[in-house]
Structure 1
Amino acid sequence: MEALILEMIEAFKGLSYFGIMLALTFEFVPAELVLPLAGFWVYEGDMNLYGAIIAGSIGGVLGPLTLYALGRYGGRPVVLKFGKYFLVKEEHIDKADVFFAKYGGAVAFLGRFIPGVRTAISIPCGMAKMNIWKFIIYTYVAMLPVTAIYVYLGYALGPQWERAGAIFAQYANYLLIPIALFLIWFVFTRLRKRKI
């Protein structure tokens, strides 16, 4: 399956930066493959580093937008019926619902960093009819640093770009600590506002 996806991504290379965006539009195509490979294309001199990062970040918003639309215009019954085609299970939707109920619109940002929630979080945002521009901005801001790291790793590793996922996973906890601190601060200030 991974070999088939890689062939598909390679076909998108002919479309340059648009190809990166297009590949990431499909939620079943893992960003962990697309972005380091884009970094390798930068290494080969076929693309510019900043262009690949921007294209990857935009593509990282287009994919979640499809799930947002599914939630907004289809509701839970349609999501449960067609979610499997986007690799979204009912348990993912349930977790994302709980997370959305607790933290509101900011989940479009925070949910991107939580395994088991990150893919499905767009659905409750859509079902709650969250402002689409807020959703896009939160998603882009969350995707930009992750995209930059993956693309840079692919560029730095060159022909060994496939190691990027393992390296990212090794240091992911260090990235999650500041996010966790932000989450604690966000919850604390929100509770404080409610008391006032």
Structure 2
Amino acid sequence: MEQLILDFINYLKQFSYFGVVLALTFEFVPAEVVLPLVGYWVYEGDMNFWIAVLAGTIGGTTGPLTLYALGYYGGRPLLIKYGKYFFIKEEQIQKADHFFAKYGPVVAFTGRFVPGVRTLISIPCGMAKMNIWQFIIYTFVAMFPLTALYIYVGMKLGPHWHKAGAMVEQYMLPVLGMIAVFLIGVVMYKLIKKKNRREYR
């Protein structure tokens, strides 16, 4: 299966940066494989790093939109019935659903940094009828640094790009921790600002 995916990605390389977008639009193709390989293409001089990052970020946004649409228009019954054709298991849907219920719409951003959740978190966002523009912005902003990191590591590893996925995963929890602290700080700032406004009235 992995070889078929690699063959598919390499086939799309002929379409250059659009091929990167296209590869990531198919959610069954793991970004953890696509992006480090793109990094290797940058290493070989076939692509520009920043244009590749932009293409990867766009693809990393259009891909989740397909799952968002499945959640929005199909709901849980359709996903449970036909999810297997998209390599989606019921327990994965439940895990993503629980994560959304616990953290709310902001998971469209933070969920991208959590292994085992990042792909399917788009489904409960769709089922909850989250504003589509809010979803797109959160997803794009989260995918940009993540895409850059995967491509950069793949580029630095060169011929050993396939090791990039495991290396990046090691840094996900610390990164998520920093993001959580930042978000908590933003929320606290807004609450304090709102409280001060009330006191001045």
- Provide TM-score, normalisation by structure 2: 0.87
- Tell me whether 1:65 sits opposite 2:59 in the alignment: no
Match of 2:102, SS state, is helix
> Which runs of 4 or more aligned residues in structure 1 lie more than 3 Å from their structure 2 counterparts after TM superposition?
182-193
Q: Deviations over 1:51-95 (max 9, x none)?
A: 100000111111111100001111111111122233322222222
Distance (Å, rounded) in 2 between the aligned partners of 1:186 and 1:74: 34
Distance (Å, rounded) in 1 between the aligned partners of 2:161 and 2:175: 20
Name 2:108's counterpart in structure 1: 108
Match of 1:167, SS state, is helix
Flag structure 2 segments of 5+ consecutive residues without an equivalent: 196-201
Name 1:42's counterpart in structure 2: 42
Using the TM superposition, name which of 119-128 and 92-101 deviates more. Answer: 92-101
Distance (Å, rounded) in 1 between the aligned partners of 2:144 and 2:161: 19
Partner AA of 2:83 in structure 1: G
Is 1:72–1:129's contact at 8 Å kept on the other side of the alignment? yes
Aligned-pair CA distance for 1:130: 1.1
Distance (Å, rounded) in 2 between the aligned partners of 1:25 and 1:51: 17
Distance (Å, rounded) in 2 between the aligned partners of 1:101 and 1:189: 24
* Aligned-pair Cα RMSD in Å: 2.4
Is 1:25–1:59's contact at 8 Å kept on the other side of the alignment? yes
Name 1:150's counterpart in structure 2: 150
In structure 2, do the counterparts of structure 1 residues 8 and 105 end up closer, same or farther at CA, with 3 Å as the change threshold?
A: same
Name 2:199's counterpart in structure 1: none
Partner AA of 1:36 in structure 2: P
Is 1:110–1:183's contact at 8 Å kept on the other side of the alignment? no
Distance (Å, rounded) in 2 between the aligned partners of 1:186 and 1:67: 29
Is 1:25–1:62's contact at 8 Å kept on the other side of the alignment? yes
- Tell me whether 1:137 sits opposite 2:133 in the alignment: no
Using the TM superposition, name which of 58-67 and 109-118 deviates more. Answer: 109-118
In structure 2, do the counterparts of structure 1 residues 26 and 137 end up closer, same or farther at CA, with 3 Å as the change threshold?
A: same
* Aligned length in residues: 196
Distance (Å, rounded) in 2 between the aligned partners of 1:191 and 1:139: 25
- Provide TM-score, normalisation by structure 1: 0.90
Name 2:29's counterpart in structure 1: 29
Is 1:27–1:87's contact at 8 Å kept on the other side of the alignment? no
Distance (Å, rounded) in 1 between the aligned partners of 2:144 and 2:121: 17
- Tell me whether 1:167 sits opposite 2:167 in the alignment: yes
Using the TM superposition, name which of 58-67 and 103-112 deviates more. Answer: 103-112
Using the TM superposition, name which of 170-179 and 70-79 deviates more. Answer: 170-179
Q: Deviations over 1:83-138 (max 9, x none)?
A: 22333222222222222223322111111122332222111111111111111110
Aligned-pair CA distance for 1:15: 0.3
Aligned-pair CA distance for 1:19: 0.3
In structure 2, do the counterparts of structure 1 residues 75 and 173 end up closer, same or farther at CA, with 3 Å as the change threshold?
A: closer
Distance (Å, rounded) in 2 between the aligned partners of 1:182 and 1:51: 28
Q: Which has the larger radius of gyration?
A: 2
Using the TM superposition, name which of 171-180 and 134-143 deviates more. Answer: 171-180
Distance (Å, rounded) in 2 between the aligned partners of 1:21 and 1:85: 22
